[in-house]
């Protein structure tokens, strides 16, 4: 009996037929997109990552040929003769520029143009500049295709002006950009994760428009549920709210809104067996609906379609998963790019 696509191991990659197309990944984090490209038969040439811990995890699991531990601004400033020649004959330049300033939560417009360290110990940066730094790398390397992933919030309200600037920059560089709003739940991923993908082909290739349409049946939480979760401390507010929840409640915020007229703790999600999981974010707290505990690490791994033998070293599993692109989501996109282009 064959395994479902979300149930896989890093060791399975040795069996994937290679077609010779190459990828280089920026803002690689734990390598979610890297694994997606590998599952689709691509050869990964290396990565750029600013976070030392994420780079340790990436190297441990992916053994990159050309890893660059540095801010993307430093990478783009490297003289061309200090870069591997194969990076200048690249099929895909991949990147997921950090996007928290475009998240739909909080006072996001107030954050634009501000400088933030998006994790303790990292360099303070203007996060809304990073997309253009990534496109500067594209200008330097001139790949055949550029793939960039970001949050749905970039398409909402004032942020659409930012998207227009990004599309204009793609065109200035000689690329034909396309925008795709995709939900991972339609792509075989056990999670409702809406993400915006910019896919751009270099003008000189005369390629047809890319078609990306997915309609896989949903994978429910009960399908991936596995192992014991971490029990809630019975003296906490979260535990008492969990005890008072009703069948219609989808988060602790629903409980507090009903009881106090104002939602708080809405990031603590109640996962139900018969539903598809919510988006797994780096700060997510997912609780099982039928027992007072957080979901298990294996639940997080499966919901994000990470391999079961992935080595997280000493990092929090849900944090690394939540910071990454689901490998199966990127695999489906990468397959279509290879098939159609």
pLDDT digits (tens, 9 = 90+) for 147-199: 999 888 777 767 677 888 999 999 999 999 999 999 999 999 999 999 999 99
Q: Is 7 a domain residue?
A: no
As a whole number, mean pLDDT of residues 32-36 equals: 98
Q: Is 23 a domain residue?
A: yes
Which pTM was predicted? 0.90
As a whole number, mean pLDDT of residues 13-30 equals: 96
Same domain membership, residue 133 and residue 246: no
- The enclosing domain of 64 has a CATH number of 3.40.50.150
pLDDT digits (tens, 9 = 90+) for 262-286: 878 788 999 999 999 999 988 889 9
Decide: 266 and 214 in contact? Cβ < 8 Å: no
Same domain membership, residue 209 and residue 125: yes
Same domain membership, residue 180 and residue 48: yes
User: Which residue range(s) make up the domain with 279?
Assistant: 221-319
Model confidence at 41: pLDDT above 90: yes
Q: Is 109 a domain residue?
A: yes
**Mean pLDDT over all residues of the chain?**
90
Pairing of strands 125-126, 285-288: unpaired
Structural domain count of the chain: 2
Tell me the pLDDT band of 112, cut-offs 50, 70 and 90.
Answer: very low
Decide: 308 and 301 in contact? Cβ < 8 Å: yes
Res 100: pLDDT: 52
Q: In what order do the strands lie in the sheet with 145-151?
A: 66-69, 43-49, 22-26, 92-95, 145-151, 194-202, 175-183
Q: Is 6 a domain residue?
A: no
Percent with pLDDT over 90 in the chain: 80
Q: Is 193 a domain residue?
A: yes
Res 125: pLDDT: 45
Q: Is 32 a domain residue?
A: yes
Report, as residue numbers or ranges, the catalytic residues.
Answer: 99
Same domain membership, residue 166 and residue 44: yes
Q: Is 26 a domain residue?
A: yes
Model confidence at 52: pLDDT above 80: yes
Same domain membership, residue 202 and residue 53: yes
């Amino acid at each position: 009996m064959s395994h479902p696509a979300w149930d896989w191991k890093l060791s399975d990659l040795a069996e994937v037929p290679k077609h010779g197309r190459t990828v280089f990944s920026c803002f690689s984090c734990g390598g979610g997109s890297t694994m997606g490209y590998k599952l689709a038969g691509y050869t990964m040439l290396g990565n750029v990552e600013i976070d030392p811990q994420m780079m340790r995890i990436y190297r441990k699991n992916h053994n990159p040929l050309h890893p660059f531990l540095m801010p993307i601004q430093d990478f783009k400033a490297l003289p061309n003769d200090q870069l591997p020649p194969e990076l200048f004959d690249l099929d895909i330049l991949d990147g997921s520029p950090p996007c928290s300033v475009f998240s739909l939560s909080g006072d996001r417009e107030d954050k634009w143009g501000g400088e933030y360290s998006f994790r303790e110990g990292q360099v303070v940066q203007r996060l809304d500049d990073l997309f253009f730094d990534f496109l500067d790398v594209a200008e330097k390397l001139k790949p055949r295709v550029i793939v960039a992933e970001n949050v749905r919030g970039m398409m909402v309200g004032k942020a659409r002006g930012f998207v227009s600037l990004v599309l204009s920059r793609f065109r200035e560089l000689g690329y034909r950009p396309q925008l795709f709003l995709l939900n991972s739940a339609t792509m075989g991923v056990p999670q409702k994760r809406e993400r915006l993908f910019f896919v751009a082909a270099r003008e000189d290739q005369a390629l047809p428009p890319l078609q990306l349409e997915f309609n896989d049946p949903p994978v429910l939480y009960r399908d991936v549920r596995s192992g014991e979760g971490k029990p809630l401390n019975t003296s906490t507010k979260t535990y008492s709210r969990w005890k008072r929840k009703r069948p219609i409640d989808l988060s602790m915020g629903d409980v507090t809104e009903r009881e106090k007229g104002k939602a708080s703790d809405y990031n603590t999600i109640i996962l139900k067996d018969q539903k598809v999981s919510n988006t797994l974010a780096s700060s997510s707290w997912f609780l099982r609906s039928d027992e007072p505990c957080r979901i298990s690490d294996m639940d997080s791994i499966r919901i994000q379609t990470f391999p079961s033998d992935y080595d997280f070293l000493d990092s929090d599993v849900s944090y690394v998963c939540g910071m990454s692109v689901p490998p199966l989501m990127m695999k489906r996109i990468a397959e279509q790019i290879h098939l159609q282009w």
